[in-house]
């Protein structure tokens, strides 16, 4: 009798435990977002990689990347100001900036440790358009023939320079190209925060149009909008930068904002601004993504580690 009761008790316990485990596995996942907002994800978020996907980033392309560094020269200039030299610019120099062929910081004070360029423009958000024009004039005057492609980034933008270099290596820098995260408003333009890229020919044309006030007025709106407007007057339009699976490569927000389904409410500005239909979740971002924006200094070092050092044993393909 006592043995029967014990057996029945064990059976009930096992049944309850199995039911609990089933409910835990089968219920929708919950993501806790800012302000304790929760988003329920009905479908599993999968980052599974097709074994036949020859473009997967675990494929070894080290030698090809080294050759592209020599053949496809990239100048990176970073918009900054003196108060950010040590807090934001130093992490950039120690992480992604060291992979540019040429790295410049556009500021209003000289700092030889970076180095920074002292542009003769007052600091302040209201002067960003003037500062952008001054920076591109400086690049055109001093570096036009020392690089093939020219990246403008903010001091809170992280760039995977190898992916940028590989992407532009398929294009002729002597033709007018303007790459970045394409937005719809104002006739279309590329996001400033996500970083945008000029070919050498586009640097030439931009240097010409900013001297013509009839086509490129002094009136300042957002600097990235003004860049798009002025380039359009020269026949240079924002190009498509989706990968072969229709995923974006330049990102105006940090990774989690794009990767977590439902992180951004449908009324968030990016849903209406994005030129292409906006996608969140794993299909948001190319395996060969180039930039992420609003990256704080600590995250610069974290991304450096995750991208260039962390490996899962046995995951690399030769």
Q: How confident is the model at residue 125 (pLDDT cuts 50, 70, 90)?
A: confident
pLDDT tens for each residue of 81-122: 999 999 999 999 999 999 999 999 999 999 999 999 999 998
Q: Would you tell me how many other CB atoms lie within 10 Å of the CB of residue 58?
A: 14
- The pTM of this model reads 0.83
pLDDT tens for each residue of 32-84: 555 555 555 555 555 454 444 444 444 568 899 999 999 999 999 999 999 99
pLDDT tens for each residue of 250-286: 999 999 999 999 999 999 999 999 999 999 999 999 9
Greatest alpha-carbon span in the chain: 99
Task: Name the residue with higher pLDDT: 23 or 83.
Answer: 83
Length of the chain: 318
Output the average pLDDT for the chain. Answer: 86
Q: What percent of the chain has pLDDT over 70?
A: 80
218 contacts: CB under 8 Å, gap ≥ 6 = none
102: three-class secondary structure by DSSP: strand
Alpha-carbon torsion angle 285, 291, 292, 294, nearest 10: -160
Question: For 64-241, which CATH class?
Answer: alpha beta
Strand partners, 199: 149
Which residue in 179, 88, 111, 104 sits closest to 139, CA to CA?
A: 104
Inter-axis angle of helices 128-143 and 223-233, nearest 10: 50
Q: Would you tell me how many other CB atoms lie within 10 Å of the CB of residue 85?
A: 19
């Amino acid at each position: 009798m006592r043995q029967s009761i014990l057996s029945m008790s064990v059976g009930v316990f096992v049944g309850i435990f199995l039911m609990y485990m089933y409910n835990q596995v089968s219920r929708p996942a919950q993501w806790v977002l800012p302000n304790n907002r929760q988003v329920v994800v009905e479908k599993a978020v999968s980052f599974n990689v097709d074994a036949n996907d020859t473009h997967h980033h675990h494929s070894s392309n080290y030698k090809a990347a080294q050759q592209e560094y020599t053949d496809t020269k990239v100048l990176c200039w970073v918009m900054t100001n003196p108060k950010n030299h040590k807090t934001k610019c130093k992490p950039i120099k120690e992480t992604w900036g060291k992979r540019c062929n040429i790295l410049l910081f556009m500021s209003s004070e000289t700092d030889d440790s970076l180095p920074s360029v002292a542009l003769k423009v007052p600091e302040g958000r209201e002067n960003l358009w003037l500062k952008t024009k001054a920076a591109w004039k400086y690049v055109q005057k001093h570096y036009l023939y020392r690089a093939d492609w020219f990246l403008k980034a903010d001091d809170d933008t992280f760039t995977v320079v190898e992916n940028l270099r590989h992407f532009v290596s398929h294009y002729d820098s002597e033709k007018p190209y303007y790459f970045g995260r394409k937005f719809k408003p104002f006739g279309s333009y590329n996001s400033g925060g996500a970083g945008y890229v000029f070919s050498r020919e586009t640097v030439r044309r931009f240097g010409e149009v900013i001297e013509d006030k009839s086509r490129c007025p002094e009136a300042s709106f957002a600097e990235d909008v003004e860049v798009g407007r002025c380039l359009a007057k020269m026949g240079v339009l924002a190009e498509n930068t989706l990968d072969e699976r229709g995923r974006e490569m330049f990102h105006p927000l940090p990774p989690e904002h794009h990767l977590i389904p439902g992180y951004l409410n449908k009324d968030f500005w990016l849903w209406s601004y994005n030129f292409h239909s906006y996608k969140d979740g794993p299909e948001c971002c190319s395996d060969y993504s180039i930039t992420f924006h609003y990256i704080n200094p600590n995250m610069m070092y974290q991304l450096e580690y995750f991208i260039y050092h962390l490996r899962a044993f046995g995951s690399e393909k030769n």
